[in-house]
Amino acid sequence: MSSPRTSLNVLLVYPPTTVHWPNETIPAAQPQLGLGYLAGYLRHYLDPSVKLKLEILDCAIEGLGVKVDDLERRCSRYGLSEEKILEKFKEFQPDIVGITSMWTAYATDTHDVARLVKTHFPQTLVVVGGSHASIQPDMTALDANIDVVVVGEGEETFLQLVDRYCKGEDYSELAGTALRIDGKVKANARRTLIEDLDRIPFPARDLMPMDKYFEILKSPYLMRHPMTSVFSSRGCPYKCTFCSIHSVWERNWRKRSPENVVAELEHLVETYGVKEIAFLDDNLSVNRKRLHGICDLIIEKGLDIKWSTPNGTAYWTLDEEVLAKMKKAGCYRLTFGVESGCLETRNYMRKNVSLKKAIDMCKAANRLGMWTISTYIIGFPYETKEQILESLQFAIDSDTDWASFYLLMPFIGTGVYEDFKKEGILNFDAYLNPSQFDASVLVSLSAALSQNGIATTKLTVAELHQLQEFMSKRFIKRRLLNPMVTLRLLSKLRSWEDFRYFLRLGYSFLFMLRDLVVGRFSLVSSVHRE
């Protein structure tokens, strides 16, 4: 081990994004709250005698608009160039670089940044964490450019790793990590999750270019600007077969107190002038009493904000009383994660909750003047065309204002992936060599995961694309060309702000209707606009 350190330079990096053709969809640039939480926790709890220099480098937002095509690999790379990243490294002189690895489809970018660090700063400690790293810690740790993989929830593990590194102590047995020893990966025990989330400081947004995020997140689909995102809880107690969040949060839901959540909202309003919040919780409403408490405090403190739930709300946990409270507290748009309108498909995905409840809550939210969105997934391994179309009919019957139909991507580590594997349709595991890291193999795996849709036992990829387009167009036509729907939407207008928002939506929908009429409608462009 090295000698103890009295000063330390720690750089946290969100890598560029490489997308393999023909896929053109890239993750939206947004505040990297995971890195923000790591930075806030480290800054708060690290021994104050250590002189800490800490920064966050988001290569997506800092390299916004930069695109490099690779004809040989048939892909495009979005974000800061390696030259610009290297300039930052040379300027910062990092002792530790922490890199996010969220999605397997983009894992090559994490390894590319790690290679860049080790090529020019071989003594720098390279640490990788995130969903992909937690699902595939062995594959990640086999890369000689990566020293330590943080598995699962990262704040306490990263803090202890940095602390031991500062003190020159051994960290090879540290819980929540995986690392190479003599060329073989050693996976240590999982770390116990942090039970009291109020102990975790707010994300270090002062280390982020918030003005750039505010600008890029402007959209006619938002009621107010500037907007930013917040997590009020972590995880989800349910066991949907398509969901991979348990790789980090396990089958567990943990909450922040209403007081802690609203204190962060106040901080955002007072410090950054935020006027709208997107709650990105995987499941905001598991504890209805807590949700009431959050709404009560927003009302009590007179916080003039609007907010929404873009990642979906567990509609079966709601009732009309809490919906009315949410509306009064500024919630103007709810997303319902219905996922399927077919009972057989819902049983397969282990979403055994009432569809009638979804309709009831959607209609109740509409009556209160809230905007409603429902989301659906198509392409489960044993799903038929007829079963998929039941979701379209349900979306139309439910009176939801908008419906989005997504093609399933079976993430490694999920039950649905295991079924695709069992049927011989997918086997991403075959790409992985358990004894050595091969960058070219990872490129092939990323390309496979970048596909827009996977063939099932019943339908080809082309058929799934046709169904997705048909369902989207049919739903839009039933909404935009139905005067009764327009009258119902007008009933949501309770203020001039509502009216102005309705006009912005209407303007966007007119362009969408034009595209439908002239045959230029594109699911890719509609997703980007949304």
Query: Helix H segments across 172-257?
Result: 210-216, 246-249
What is the β-pairing status of strands 184-187 and 177-181? antiparallel
pLDDT for position 432: 67
Cis omega (within 30 of 0) on the bond before 4? no
Going by pLDDT thresholds of 50, 70 and 90, the confidence category of residue 483 is: confident
- Does residue 433 form part of some domain? no
Best-predicted range by mean pLDDT (92-96, 218-222, 348-352, 503-507): 92-96
Lowest mean pLDDT among 35-49, 119-133, 333-347, 466-480: 466-480
Regarding whether 311 and 360 lie in a shared domain, the answer is yes
pLDDT for position 529: 27
DSSP count for the chain of H helices, then E strands = 21, 18
Q: Residue 85 is part of which domain span?
A: 7-187
- Does residue 87 form part of some domain? yes
| Residue count (the chain) | 530
Regarding whether 143 and 98 lie in a shared domain, the answer is yes
Q: What is the pLDDT of residues 141-179, one digit of tens each?
A: 999 999 999 999 999 999 999 999 999 999 999 999 999
| pLDDT surpasses 70 at 517 | no
Q: Which residues contact 192 (CB under 8 A, 6 or more apart)?
A: 175
Regarding whether 175 and 255 lie in a shared domain, the answer is no
Pairwise CA distance, residues 285 & 325, whole Å? 13
- Does residue 336 form part of some domain? yes
Lowest mean pLDDT among 8-17, 482-491, 509-518: 509-518
Q: What is the pLDDT of residues 259-309, one digit of tens each?
A: 999 999 999 999 999 999 999 999 999 999 999 999 999 999 999 999 999
Query: Helix H segments across 221-319?
Result: 246-249, 258-272, 288-300
Pairwise CA distance, residues 55 & 44, whole Å? 14
Pairwise CA distance, residues 375 & 472, whole Å? 11
- Does residue 258 form part of some domain? yes
Cβ-based neighbour number of residue 88 at 10 Å: 16
136: DSSP letter: -
pLDDT for position 527: 33
Regarding whether 156 and 45 lie in a shared domain, the answer is yes
Q: Report the predicted TM-score, pTM, of the whole model to 2 decimal places.
A: 0.93
pLDDT for position 518: 65
Q: What is the mean pLDDT of residues 110-127?
A: 98
Task: Give the rounded percent of residues in the chain with a pLDDT score beyond 70.
Answer: 95
pLDDT for position 524: 45
pLDDT for position 4: 86
Going by pLDDT thresholds of 50, 70 and 90, the confidence category of residue 100 is: very high
Q: Which residues pair with 309 in a beta bridge?
A: 334
Q: What is the pLDDT of residues 22-49, one digit of tens each?
A: 777 777 789 999 999 999 999 999 999 9
Regarding whether 287 and 183 lie in a shared domain, the answer is no
- Does residue 151 form part of some domain? yes
Q: What is the mean pLDDT of residues 317-340?
A: 97
Sign of CA dihedral 411, 407, 103, 201: negative
Lowest mean pLDDT among 137-141, 187-191, 242-246, 467-471: 242-246
| pLDDT surpasses 50 at 477 | yes
| Mean pLDDT rounded to a whole number for the chain | 91
What is the β-pairing status of strands 227-230 and 233-235? unpaired
For residue 315, give the CATH number of its domain. 3.80.30.20
For residue 12, give the CATH number of its domain. 3.40.50.280
Q: What is the pLDDT of residues 193-242, one digit of tens each?
A: 999 999 999 999 999 999 999 999 999 899 999 999 999 999 998 889 99
Lowest mean pLDDT among 143-152, 379-388, 437-446: 437-446
Which tokens hold the place of 135? 């699902």
Task: Give the count of domains, the chain.
Answer: 2
Does residue 507 or residue 394 have the better pLDDT? Answer: 394
pLDDT for position 525: 35
